[in-house]
Structure 1
Amino acid sequence: MNSVKLHTAKETLVTAFALFSLFFGAGNLILPPLLGFTSGHLWWLVSLGFCLSAVLVPILGIMAHAKLQGTIFDFGKKVSKGFSLVYSFLIYVISISLPSPRTASVTHEMAIQPFFDVPSWLTGTVYFSLVFLFVVNRSKLLNVLGKILTPTIIIILLLIIGISLFSTDQPVGPITLSSPFANGILEGYQTFDAIGAVVVGGVIIISVNLKKKEASYQEKKTLIRRAGILAGSALLLLYTGLIYTGALVQADFDTEITRTALLNGISHLTLGRNGQVFLSVLVSLACFTTAVGIVTGTSDFIQSRFKNSKKAYLITVIAGCLLGVLIGQFNVAYIIAVALPALMFIYPITIVLILLNAIPNKWASPKVFRAVVTTTIIFSIPDFIGSLGWGASISALQEIIPLSRYSMGWILPAMIVFVLFNLTRKKHPINNSSL
């Protein structure tokens, strides 16, 4: 009996480490320190907002995957099959066009350029060649990510955070953000973790199915849920630590410092002359594991749409890697800026789908799905328009919609519609067979 429990604990830990590494990529590493740097003494409030969108929602996405045990297509099928198909394609197009290439761009700027005078196309080519090798050997994915790469990432991060906490005695500086909590939530969007949850969650499902073919639905559900909680706890600890570290070093750097320059500076302060080497390893591993997860998830989805064709899987892997090399030639700041409008539109829909799939079915009937998702799409349009730089044209509308000036105008309408439709359900019970 003890050996069975030990085996289960080991499986859970390996899966949790793999899940963490698939989540923890370029944005997860470079965004929190600058957020803390600009939040000053209100670092804790920014951390709360950031972890809400970059930890809680993504882990709820993994819980939803554990419940559904299907693909991303299952997340939206209660709205309609047509909607779910369009949503799935949008998610994968965004994922493989923005966060995946961004990992190569960050790796070049922070891990390669400081040591070697090589062009970014060469870095991208080598980088995505390695990604290709990992993705085509996906049966070994969980073991390699969970047993080797993730522990290395966590150890280096804990070194940077731990040394910062115990070596800095200066007070935390003033805040320069206008809305710390809202800024934290919106910056959490840039991690792509909610989108990552529906993408890499599918990767985890397929990987677990390949590894534990004889396991029951309940056994796999328990394994994935526990792994999700462990991975989420690690993300919470490290995000908060990186944000606080950024707040602690506010007096050591210029106020106009960039995200990548700040992370470089922190690594030098904490780890000395060898800091750049440690940071290079950290950045390379964190970015690489995320790129592997995105390309694998996209290829899995395309394969599922083409009757599990291995040829479709391979063609998607090649296309994803080539796209990564091409778009990865742009610098990190440019890719982050380009990603914002896409995120302002797709992120609210993703958050709503995750929450609706994570809660009990009795509160999330097809009718509730359709009403809440439609409301979210309508009320996220002003935020999307504002992110394009056309805020002046919708300023009157933003004054009317609560939270719209914080780019979160969809939240209250979606909540109200959810409550109203569930109150209607209690008065007019829905046939359970339809759920």
Structure 2
Amino acid sequence: MEEVQDLNTKPLTKKQYLVVSSMLFGLFFGAGNLIFPIHLGQLAGGHWGMATLGFLVTAVVLPLLSVLAISVTHSKGVYDVGRPLGPAFALAFMILIHATIGPLFGTPRTATIPFSVGVQPLLPESLTQVGLFVFSAVFFGAAFLVSYKESNIMNSVGKLLNPVFLVLLFSVFAFGFVSPMGVASKQVVTAEYQDASFFNGFLQGYNTMDALAGLAFGVTVVTAVRQLGKTSAKSNAKVTARAGVLATAMIGVIYVGLIWLGATTLGEFKLSVDGGVAFNQMVSHYLGSFGHALLATLLTVTCLTTAVGLVAAFAQDFHKHFPKVSYRQWLAFMCLASFLTANFGLEQILAWSTPMLMFLYPFAMVLILLSVFSPLFNRDPRVYAPVVLLTAVPALLDMVAAFPPVVSASAFGKALASFQQSYLPFASLGMDWVVPALVGLVVGLGLHFLKPSLARTTSPVVGTDRVN
């Protein structure tokens, strides 16, 4: 098939690359990306450096690889990433990803975190539920309006909201670095981080949901780059990859600063229940009562940028696969469902999101890596199948172990945990999927290279245009 030509044959300017990178940064970086690194710094204390390395793998490198996976395979969304395993698996994977980062957990969190951390402390306890209702209604109303026209997404996120967020964030950084609350390397290390700080930091990176979001944002990024005239698969992929490197590098620098700041807060405050409390304490320490207003604004702006990306990606992907419902109708459904879930409160959302993340992240990691290296085996389904199949068992066990005690502490949950710890290597580190996935990879590559001719005839083609 003849390759689609670029409408804009000229190289993009530095300003255009910055706009795309800024959009990606804004889509990735939400309130969770603020509070989880700070809390990790408090948990790791003096071992904050090694914990940071683990966190950066799943919170920076993996999201970058998810963007590159979209680029390398010329995919147009999360569905295409799972397509080598067939349309049924691809559709199920897409729905699970969007449900997790969408109306069930991720998107409602974009409203509940800024409310509970920035707004709730200013309200009397009797008005908490009413305040959450009003705040979340206004919040998702704004997200709906910004996302209403797909062509507005890059302008609204990349050019307007994101620069405001960066100014507010670095004003907080300035106070933290000029007058630190303590010496990070001398702070108390919690028990879990005494000997396994890297792996615990690695698992904490799941909470950002950015690897899942990177797959889901693929359609939004591709659409935005096409608006700049880069309509061929090859040039679109190149722009997306370059912008992704810049955006995730910026996020990585911020993470290092936030984790360090979190560790220094132990010089003034006790270990908090979550990073939101720690961030609130930090801002109040440096800025006093004005800090609350700044915090509320900071969290609301950054969460709105992420919410816009999530609701738009959901609506675009679902409209593509279920076209009888329009983009705007899917958008309205997403915003309404997220609004309803948000009113259950942040505590409930976080409690039930962890099991789903422990289940989905191993699948996402193996599919991302397989996609990035897929040119080596022509996206042969026989390579994908054993890897994903053998990843499923430990992923299910990790999900059950992460459920609240009503499930994980039941007789059924304890029996599965005993089996997991006894027979799966690295289960205590939350990495029990690694060995089965590697075994599946060896089997899959063996099948591919033993019968290369069959691999060439069975490999599916993703997308409508190919690179000759």
Q: Please classify the TM superposition score into its range, dividing by the shorter chain length.
A: over 0.9
TM-score (norm: length of structure 1) = 0.93
The counterpart of 1:161, out of the listed 170, 173, 197, is: 173
Q: Which residue of 2 aligns with 1:82?
A: 88
State the distance in 1 between where 2:448 and 2:231 align: 36
Are 1:385 and 2:409 counterparts? no
Q: Which residue of 1 aligns with 2:361?
A: 347
In structure 2, what residue type is equivalent to 1:52?
V
Contact 1:24–1:290 (8 Å) recurs in 2 = yes
The counterpart of 2:31, out of the listed 16, 26, 33, is: 26
State the distance in 2 between where 1:163 and 1:124 align: 30
Q: Which residue of 2 aligns with 1:191?
A: 208
Shift of 1:60: 0.5
Q: 1:417 to 1:306 in 2, by over 3 A?
A: closer
State the distance in 2 between where 1:159 and 1:424 align: 55
Q: Aligned runs of 1:135-284 on 2, under 5 Å? A: 135-168=147-180, 170-172=182-184, 173-178=187-192, 179-209=196-226, 211-213=227-229, 215-284=231-300
State the distance in 1 between where 2:250 and 2:300 align: 19
Moved more, 55-64 or 176-185: 176-185
Contact 1:25–1:287 (8 Å) recurs in 2 = yes
Provide structure 2 residue ranges, at least 5 long, that are not aligned to the other structure: 1-8, 460-468
Shift of 1:416: 2.7
Shift of 1:256: 4.2
Q: Which residue of 2 aligns with 1:55?
A: 60
Contact 1:128–1:321 (8 Å) recurs in 2 = yes
Alignment length (residue pairs): 430
State the distance in 2 between where 1:288 and 1:169 align: 30
Q: Which residue of 1 aligns with 2:429?
A: 406
Moved more, 423-432 or 165-174: 423-432
Q: Which residue of 2 aligns with 1:131?
A: 143
Question: Secondary structure of the equivalent of 1:78?
Answer: helix
Q: Which residue of 2 aligns with 1:375?
A: 390
Q: 1:127 to 1:346 in 2, by over 3 A?
A: same
Q: 1:164 to 1:214 in 2, by over 3 A?
A: closer
Contact 2:383–2:441 (8 Å) recurs in 1 = yes
Instruction: State the Cα deviation string for residues 28-66 of structure 1 (Å, max 9, x = none).
Output: 111110110110111011111111111111110111112
Q: 1:336 to 1:26 in 2, by over 3 A?
A: same
Q: Which residue of 1 aligns with 2:440?
A: 417
Shift of 1:419: 3.1
Contact 1:382–1:398 (8 Å) recurs in 2 = no
Q: 1:177 to 1:281 in 2, by over 3 A?
A: farther
Shift of 1:324: 1.5
State the distance in 2 between where 1:214 and 1:20 align: 20
Shift of 1:399: 2.3
Are 1:288 and 2:312 counterparts? no
State the distance in 2 between where 1:49 and 1:177 align: 17
State the distance in 2 between where 1:297 and 1:256 align: 34
Shift of 1:110: 2.4
Contact 2:426–2:432 (8 Å) recurs in 1 = yes
Question: Secondary structure of the equivalent of 1:119?
Answer: helix
Are 1:95 and 2:114 counterparts? no
Are 1:109 and 2:116 counterparts? yes
TM-score (norm: length of structure 2) = 0.87
State the distance in 2 between where 1:408 and 1:14 align: 37
State the distance in 2 between where 1:10 and 1:285 align: 23
Q: Aligned runs of 1:276-355 on 2, under 5 Å? A: 276-307=292-323, 309=324, 311-355=325-369
State the distance in 2 between where 1:104 and 1:305 align: 27
Instruction: State the Cα deviation string for residues 83-116 of structure 1 (Å, max 9, x = none).
Output: 1111111111222211101111112212333445
Provide structure 1 residue ranges, at least 5 long, that are not aligned to the other structure: none
Question: Secondary structure of the equivalent of 2:240?
Answer: helix
Shift of 1:424: 4.7
State the distance in 1 between where 2:348 and 2:322 align: 34
Instruction: State the Cα deviation string for residues 2-50 of structure 1 (Å, max 9, x = none).
Output: xx98842211110111011111112111111011011011101111111
State the distance in 1 between where 2:270 and 2:277 align: 10
Shift of 1:146: 1.0
Q: Which residue of 2 aligns with 1:8?
A: 13
In structure 2, what residue type is equivalent to 1:283?
L
CA RMSD of the aligned region, Å? 2.1
Contact 2:17–2:243 (8 Å) recurs in 1 = yes
Shift of 1:82: 0.9
Q: Which residue of 2 aligns with 1:432?
A: 456
State the distance in 2 between where 1:66 and 1:271 align: 43
Shift of 1:358: 1.2
Shift of 1:303: 0.7
State the distance in 2 between where 1:90 and 1:70 align: 17
State the distance in 2 between where 1:199 and 1:425 align: 29
Q: 1:6 to 1:205 in 2, by over 3 A?
A: closer
In structure 1, what residue type is equivalent to 2:283?
S
State the distance in 1 between where 2:120 and 2:399 align: 35
